[in-house]
Every structure is written in C-alpha cells, then in structure tokens.
A and B are shown apart, each in its own frame.
Chain A
Amino acid sequence: MNDVVIEAKNLTKRYGGIAVVKGISFSVARGEIFGLLGPNGAGKTTTILMLLGLSDISAGTARVLDHNPVREPLAVKRRVGYLPDEVGFYDNLSAGDNLRYTARLIGLGRAEREERISRSLAHVGLADVADKRVGTFSRGMRQRLGLAEILMKDAQVAILDEPTSGLDPQVTVELLDIIRDLKHRGVSVLLSSHLLERVQSVCDRVALFNEGNIVLLGTVPELGRQVLGGGFRVEVEAQGEGLAEHLARVPGVRKVESAGPSRWLLLAEQDVRPEAAAAVVAAGGRLLRLAVAEPSLEAIYRQYFHEHPHEGERHAA
C-alpha cells in the first residue's frame, strides 16, 4: 500500500517554447485534501490536465495511484474523478441520463449502474430532480451533479478544478461539506481555487502557485510562519486617545499596525493579551475586543505578493 497517491516531479509544460508550468514538484497523500492556489493563469488547470493524461507533459514525471498518466491514461482515468472548471453536461438529457452515459463509458453493468446513480444523486441532494433536464439546473446543481459523478465512479482520487467559483455562499458551504465527506470516505482530494478563504477551511495542505511555479507549500499555519513571520498576532479593538502609543510600549510588542478605526494589530513575541488589556485600561480607553489572530491564507497571499511585487504583477482580481 503506497501512501502517496499523486506525485509530481519537475513537472513542466511548454506551449510553443513558453513554459506555463515550470518544473513543479509536490505529492498528495492518501486521504488528504490538497489545495492548488493562485491567480488565474498561474498553471493550476494545466497541472491538473497533465496529471489526468489529458495534456502532454513537456518534461518531468507524474504518477497518479502508481500509474503513469501519459502511458496508462485509462488506468488513471478509471480511478480518478475529475470535476472541470465550469463543468458542462448535456442539457437535453436528464441528470440521471447524463450519469448513465458516464457510467456506460466507465463500463458499469446495468444493475450496479442504477444502484450507484441513485445512491450518488441522493448523496448530493439531487435525487428528486434526477429525471429533470440538466438545462434547467443552476450552477450549484451542476457542480453537485459533477460531484455525484465522482461518487458514482467510486474514485480513489478526486480532482476538482475551481469547485466553488461563481457559487453563492450557502451553496459553497454545502459543496465544501460534500468535499469533506469525500475525505472521510478515504478519497484523496486535489482541488484548485483562487478563492482563498473558502479553501482554507477544507485543505490539509496547500501549494501556492504563481506564474507556473509553486512558491509556497505546506499547511496554512506553516505558511503563516514562513510569510508573516513567527510570533503572535493580537487584535485589539478599543476606544480612547493615543492608544497606539500606549500599546506600542507594552513589553514584547514589536509593531502596531492600524487595522481600521479603533482597531490595531499587534505583532508580538509572546501572547500579550493581558498586558495589552492592562495598557488600554491604564490609558483610560474602553476595551471592546481582544483576540489572537489565526494567520489567514488571504493575509499570507497578500503579504507574499506584497513582498514579491514583480511576481504578482499579473495577479488580477
């Protein structure tokens, strides 16, 4: 039993001499949710297509479930479920018929086909619209149907390209629940996104893409330490005159950043919440809130591109 389900070594893709993926290496462990993050055009989708054997690999190697996607694409595609960016279905067919077509392509027998289709549709909450034409489906329903296809396939690895883009918050939460559920079934998930906040909540590890390179790789707290520096980040919300100066004088505080009206962010060497509270009260201020801030991907991301502005020039939106 190999515990690495996806392994990329020096994976490179060139289009007409221009490299869009520049020798990236990463691996995904069994049962892990791994996020590929980065701006549009950073090479995430190209990487995914190479792993699936849908795009040629210019240099380097990829192994998916111990198969080579270039030489054994069928073995890879039999075991891997793929939800493309803005997944499309045949609008003139019903949800069930769309899955039936895929199930036939996979080669499932009739009895198993029907059993798996109704089970997976029920799982994503589409059981009552199984006979409705997909043309009437909303974007969220299509995404869920795409996940139903992966469930039906009984895939060991699910590769999801921008699964939450363009969805409203409620649907996004439902979708992320289904993705977490995949993990509980022992399915490894590789997902790409440019929506950081959402992704942070499900990913075990992330790789930050920029212009065809992986610039950061690890768990979110690890990346936080790497990019934002060690130490504690304490958020203070208080009303009063000249509080910033008082807070800056608290022992252990290295820096005070303004984070909006009456709000400050303290970068400190240790947990300075008691001292900060005392300082605010001593200065006659009204303390409203005090908390240790978790590093957010958003902050890591912004800080990284702040420090490496030339690499981030192409980053739009």
Chain B
Amino acid sequence: MRREGSALNGLGVVILKELSDHLTSVRMRVLEWLVVLFALAALYLAIQQVRETTAEDPFLLLRLFTRAREGIPITFVAFLSILVPVMAIGLGFDAVNSEYNRRTLSRILAQPIYRDALLWGKFIAGLLTITFSLVALWLLVIGLGLVLLGVPPSAEETARAFILLLVTIAYAGVWLALALLFSIVFRSAATAALVTFGLWLFLTFLWPSVLAQMVAAVIAPPDPGYTALGLPTPETTEWGQMLSRLSPSTLFGEIAFVLLNPDDVSARSLGAIYLVQLQGAARGALPLGQSLVIAWPDIVGLVAGTIVLFTIGYMVFQRQEVRA
C-alpha cells in the first residue's frame, strides 16, 4: 500500500530540535568533560612514553593513539573504545521512551509527519552530536601532538588518523542504534539504560575474551595433537576469533590496530598468522590502501551492525501503539 507524501517530511525540523536538546543538555556537558579529561590523560601518558623511546619514528603521530606508559595499559584507542559507547548509550537510551513518558509522542505524531522522520531525526541528531565531540577530540589530539612533539605529521599519518575518526563514528553508530532500539522496546528509561549498558559490558568484556573462546572450544574442540605440544589448535583459535567479532568492540579494536600500526607485521592479517607466512615477508610499513583492505571486512561489519539494529528498531516502532 502506497503512502502519500515523503516519509522524511519534517526530518530536518526533528534533527534540529533533537540536536539543540542534546547540545544544551546537562548530560551532554558531563559527557563532553568526561571525554576531554580522559583523552587528555591518555594523551599525556602517551606523549611521555613516545618522548622517551622514539628517536626516529615515521609514525610518531599514530603512536599517540596506541602507546601508553608502562604499567598503565590504557591507550588513547582503548579510551575511545570504552567512552564512545558510554556516550552513545547516554544519548540514546531514552530517545523514544521519553516521548511516551512525557506524553508528547501522540501529539507530535498527530502533526503531518511520519514516524520515520521522528526515528531518523533522533538517530541522526545523536550521531551528529557524537561526531561534533569526536571531531573536536581529534583536532585536540592532532594539535597537541604537533605542539608537544614538534614534528609535523605526514600526509599518510593524517589520513590514517582521519579514517580512524570515521571508523569511530561508525562504532558510535552501532551503540546508538542499540540504545535507540532498547529505548523503543522498553517504556521505562531506567530499564532501557540498564539493559543497554549490560549488553555493552557483556559484549565488550565478557564475550570476546571468555565466552567466545568457550563456545569456540565446544564447536571445534582442541586437537590433542596440538595440546600435547602446548600449542593452540588453529581451528579453535579461528572460531574464537570469528565469534569474538560479534562484539563491535572487537571490530573497533582490530580496525584501530591495523590502521595505526602499519609497520607491525602482525597487523598484516586479521586471521591467525603462521610463522610460515611471516618468513620472507617484506620489511617496512604497509601502505594505507593495504591496511584498509585488511580492515575492510571489519568496517563493513560495524556499518552493517548499525543498519541491522536500526532496522529492527524501526520495525518495532512502526508497529507500536501510540497510546501510552
């Protein structure tokens, strides 16, 4: 059945309204400060480390993202991988249910717009808000890097850092879509927040390192031949890796690793690497294009995850009754 008019009628109006709500909210202030302070701390630690160890390094800027002082295993990328979900969930967990609870939904939907516009508007406004913060953060890192290290970054370094920025936005998109989905499913904002944060904790800390490996050991039991030699079975390891990629955090970590460590041989493949493959491998750094090829499946995975989660949310929202 065809509907009259555009599904995105009024989208711009909703985006502007949601954006101004986000940017003026106390929640956003707190998140901004959290991000800036944590980033500065991580950057400070990285710069100390970089200054001590590096004499001549062609990827000095990228080291800012990946190095940490010994004993404190917190890199800038690790910060991002934790803080970005917190931010996205913080902005999205009450997107739709707050409209129910404030009893504004039926009034707004009685205006000449479709539900599509409202949901898209909320998602885009949330993503734009996060993008603003991330761009500011990115410029802060590059700028501080310039000032503190005194070495201008090369074009390739800047390109790699920029692609990381785009990937981080996609990573935020997954969590925002997840938060939006739960804000549709659960009428109570507290429940939605709890479930979303719970799932995030599960996917980030429990699944990749513990549960995925357990499931992998069940699917492909370790070969006694390898175990006798004290080696992991390749099949089990591969399954473990594949399963752990169900977590967006794993995907983000892998992409960042490949993008930011062009001269690390282990960043040449995201599967298991065998010694044979490394023998005779060309020395030196991998070109940007090749790094992208390696990271591409993971990047697609992040974007696909966002689309799938948003689509589920969209379908649930379309079928939901308006009355509170």
Asked if B4 contacts A107 (CB within 8 A), the reply is no
Asked if A73 contacts B3 (CB within 8 A), the reply is yes
A26 located at the interface, meaning its Cβ lies under 8 Å from any Cβ of chain B in the complex: no
Determine which of A46, A70, A89, A104 lies in contact with B13 in the assembled complex, contact meaning CB atoms within 8 Å: A104
Chain A interface, >50% SS class: mixed
* Stretch from B111-119, B152-160, B189-197, B223-231 contacting the other chain: B111-119
Determine the interface band of chain A, counting residues with CB < 8 A from chain B: 20 to 34
> Given A84-B107, A88-B107, are A78 and B112 neighbors across the interface (CB < 8 Å)?
yes
Q: Which residues of B contact A149 (CB under 8 A)?
A: 107
> Given A55-B321, A84-B103, are A106 and B109 neighbors across the interface (CB < 8 Å)?
no
Chain B interface, >50% SS class: loop
Q: Which residues of A contact B104 (CB under 8 A)?
A: 88-90
A74 located at the interface, meaning its Cβ lies under 8 Å from any Cβ of chain B in the complex: yes
CA distance A105 to B12 in the complex (A): 9
Asked if A74 contacts B323 (CB within 8 A), the reply is no
Asked if B112 contacts A107 (CB within 8 A), the reply is yes
Count residues of B near A (Cβ-Cβ below 8 Å). Answer: 27
B9 located at the interface, meaning its Cβ lies under 8 Å from any Cβ of chain A in the complex: yes
Determine which of A84, A87, A105 lies in contact with B113 in the assembled complex, contact meaning CB atoms within 8 Å: A105
Determine which of A54, A70, A86, A102 lies in contact with B103 in the assembled complex, contact meaning CB atoms within 8 Å: A86
B102 located at the interface, meaning its Cβ lies under 8 Å from any Cβ of chain A in the complex: yes
> Given A71-B4, A74-B5, A101-B17, are A52 and B102 neighbors across the interface (CB < 8 Å)?
no
A315 located at the interface, meaning its Cβ lies under 8 Å from any Cβ of chain B in the complex: no
Asked if A102 contacts B111 (CB within 8 A), the reply is yes
Measured CB to CB, the nearest residue on chain B to A75 is B4
Q: Which residues of B contact A202 (CB under 8 A)?
A: none
Q: Chain A 72-83, CB within 8 Å of chain B: the 1/0 string?
A: 111101101111
B322 located at the interface, meaning its Cβ lies under 8 Å from any Cβ of chain A in the complex: yes
CA distance A149 to B108 in the complex (A): 11
B253 located at the interface, meaning its Cβ lies under 8 Å from any Cβ of chain A in the complex: no
Q: Which residues of B contact A104 (CB under 8 A)?
A: 10, 13, 17
Q: Which residues of A contact B322 (CB under 8 A)?
A: 49, 54-55
Measured CB to CB, the nearest residue on chain A to B6 is A74
Asked if B102 contacts A105 (CB within 8 A), the reply is no
B72 located at the interface, meaning its Cβ lies under 8 Å from any Cβ of chain A in the complex: no
CA distance A104 to B10 in the complex (A): 8
Q: Which of B108-154 contact A (CB under 8 A)?
A: 108-114
A212 located at the interface, meaning its Cβ lies under 8 Å from any Cβ of chain B in the complex: no
Give min CB distance, B168 to chain A, whole Å.
29
CA distance A73 to B111 in the complex (A): 10
Asked if A88 contacts B4 (CB within 8 A), the reply is no
A146 located at the interface, meaning its Cβ lies under 8 Å from any Cβ of chain B in the complex: yes
Q: Which of B1-31 contact A (CB under 8 A)?
A: 1-5, 9-10, 13-14, 17, 21
CA distance A83 to B4 in the complex (A): 24
B290 located at the interface, meaning its Cβ lies under 8 Å from any Cβ of chain A in the complex: no
Asked if A106 contacts B111 (CB within 8 A), the reply is yes
Asked if A80 contacts B5 (CB within 8 A), the reply is no
B106 located at the interface, meaning its Cβ lies under 8 Å from any Cβ of chain A in the complex: yes
> Given A49-B322, A92-B21, are A84 and B106 neighbors across the interface (CB < 8 Å)?
yes
CA distance A77 to B323 in the complex (A): 17
Residue from A70, A88, A90, A92 having most chain B Cβ neighbours under 10 A:
A88
Give min CB distance, A148 to chain B, whole Å.
12
CA distance A87 to B21 in the complex (A): 20
In the complex, 16 of the A-B residue pairs with CB atoms within 8 angstroms, ordered by the A residue number, are A49-B322, A54-B106, A54-B109, A55-B322, A71-B1, A73-B3, A74-B113, A74-B114, A78-B112, A82-B106, A84-B110, A88-B103, A102-B111, A104-B10, A104-B13, A104-B17
Q: Which residues of A contact B (CB under 8 A)?
A: 45-46, 49, 52, 54-55, 70-75, 77-78, 80-84, 86-92, 101-102, 104-107, 146, 149
Q: Which residues of B contact A (CB under 8 A)?
A: 1-5, 9-10, 13-14, 17, 21, 102-114, 321-323
**Known pairs A46-B323, A49-B323, A105-B108. 20 more at Cβ < 8 A?**
A49-B321, A54-B322, A55-B322, A71-B1, A71-B2, A73-B3, A75-B5, A77-B112, A77-B113, A82-B110, A84-B106, A88-B104, A90-B102, A92-B21, A101-B13, A102-B108, A104-B10, A104-B13, A105-B10, A146-B107
